[in-house]
Amino acid sequence: MAGVGAIPLGTDLARGVPGDYDGSTPLPSDVHEKFASLIASGAKVARALVQAHPKGEDLARPEQSGHSLAVKEHIKRRVRFLREEKARIFASEEGIFEGFVDASERTMGATEMVDVKVSTTWLFTGNRTVLSQELAERVLLIVLDPQMENPGDRTNFKYDLNQHVANNVGTYLHSFLTLVQNWIAKGCPEWKGSALGGFERHCAIVGGILEAAGIHGFLENRSALRNTVNHTSPEDEMMDALIERHLGTPAGKDGTVFRIWGADAPPKHIGTGTDRQEHPIAKHRVLSIRAALEEESIPLHGCGYAQLEDGGVIYPDRAKSPLRQHISSMAGTVREWGADREEAKARQGRYVLEKVHTDRHSDLYKLKKLDLI
């Protein structure tokens, strides 16, 4: 188990818990065992400690004490084992997701990442499915077109797939392995196309196996997949609104910067004494992101907006803090304006939202324009 070897031999993790403890047996302390079981079941550390400790309701600082206990090595090992055991039981009972527990997870109470083998393939089906941008970049698309308005009403299939596949699994497996062996015999040539980001090796091997067998066109339906993407997220709409205002910078101004709530003037100078000089954004106009959201009626989820009867959107004073946090998390967001969105080449490009300054009023953001790739 990862991390076990970090404890020197002969060193106990806690009273009665040996250094080579792998979490598979109950902890000698009833309080620690119950606490670990509750954490493994999804309980918060404070509530887990209150329930596990005989005087839990009288503890002065259960959250702080709970966190201190949760990061102890013997607790982490027991929690991890119990979580994996729950996953094994689920997979066994359901008969699905073999390898469910083989995943990368964050260790409870710490920032340690545990990398383990993943052997699960996820498949899903749908009719006229709409995907998020993130999901579309991680999916291989298989299109089955029955040329029917209601594909679910079809009957008279050539095969009952449940029975046919079960009866011919050996034939199909042999055929698949023949394709792989053909690829190996040809020297394992790798596919050279444009791969999915983060899945380069997968694409190089799978595409190589297909091309070696004379099957071309791997990943060439990416444009069809992108057409299923829902491009109407509020964040995209906000970026579009800011880009329009950025491009509308009036003559006499060096650019446009944005404050989340108000439109207080930008800083005039930077430095002191002989080092004092004009601030890089001193001659920029300042616009309010809040005002842009209200003008365009853009509802950012979780940011405290209110919907008006006419469909408009307002951000009352209570929205200031959640909106500030949300915009801060969007720093680095990229929005592309290509030929499909903007005819004027001068306006086409990649626009990146950057935080450029913080003063007594608020943070200031600016859009940086980059060339399209």
Separation CA 111–CA 105 (nearest Å): 10
Residue 166 has pLDDT above 70, yes or no: yes
DSSP β-ladder status, 113-114 and 105-106: antiparallel
d(C-alpha 330, C-alpha 340), whole Å: 24
Mean of pLDDT values over 223-227:
75
Predicted confidence at residue 222, as pLDDT, reads 81
310/298: higher pLDDT: 298
Q: Which of 9-23, 89-103, 178-192 has the lowest mean pLDDT?
A: 89-103
Q: Where exactly are the structural domains of the chain?
A: 4-114, 133-226, 234-370
60 burial (CB, 10 Å; 0-12 / 13-18 / 19+) is exposed
pLDDT of amino acid 140:
84
Residue 15 and residue 148: Cα distance in Å, rounded?
Answer: 68
User: Across residues 121-144, what is the average pLDDT?
Assistant: 78
Helical (H) or strand (E) element with 87: helix 73-94
Closest CA to 291 of 242, 342, 348, 230: 242
Spatial CB neighbours of 286, under 8 Å, sequence gap ≥ 6: 256, 257, 258, 259, 263, 264, 265, 266, 364
| Closest alpha carbon to 170 in 181, 159, 178 | 178
Q: Which residue has the tokens 């002969």?
A: 10
Is the separation of the CB atoms in 148 and 154 below 8 Å?
Answer: yes
The pLDDT value recorded for residue 153 is 81
* Contact in structure between 81 and 64 (CB atoms under 8 Å): no
> Phi and psi at residue 130, in whole multiples of 5°?
-110, 130
Helix, strand, coil % in the chain, rounded to nearest 5: 40, 10, 50
Cβ pair 322, 258 in contact under 8 A:
no
Could you read off the pLDDT of 34-81 as tens digits, one per residue? 999 988 887 888 888 888 998 878 888 888 888 888 889 999 999 888
Mean pLDDT computed over 287-300: 95
Q: What is the mean pLDDT of residues 332-359?
A: 91
In 10 A of CB 251, how many CB atoms?
4
Whether the model clears a pTM of 0.75, i.e. scores above it, the answer is no
Identify the pLDDT of residue 319: 93
CA Rg, the chain, in Å? 29
With bands split at pLDDT 50, 70 and 90, how would you rate the model's confidence at 137? Answer: confident
What is the overall mean pLDDT for the chain? 84
For residue 239, the model assigns a pLDDT of 95
Range name among 108-112, 134-138, 289-293 with the lowest pLDDT average: 108-112
Q: Report the C-alpha dihedral over residues 11, 13, 18, 19, rounded to 10 degrees.
A: -60
The listed range with the strongest mean pLDDT (104-108, 276-280, 287-291) is 287-291
Q: How confident is the model at residue 88 (pLDDT cuts 50, 70, 90)?
A: low
Q: Please report the pLDDT score of residue 116 as a whole number.
A: 63
Answer yes or no: are the C-beta atoms of 372 and 339 closer than 8 Å: no
> Given this model, what pLDDT does residue 188 score?
94
**CA–CA distance, 100 with 118 (Å, rounded to integer):** 8
Q: How confident is the model at residue 114 (pLDDT cuts 50, 70, 90)?
A: low
What are the φ/ψ torsions at residue 220 (nearest 5 degrees)? -80, 0
So what's the pLDDT on residue 104? 42
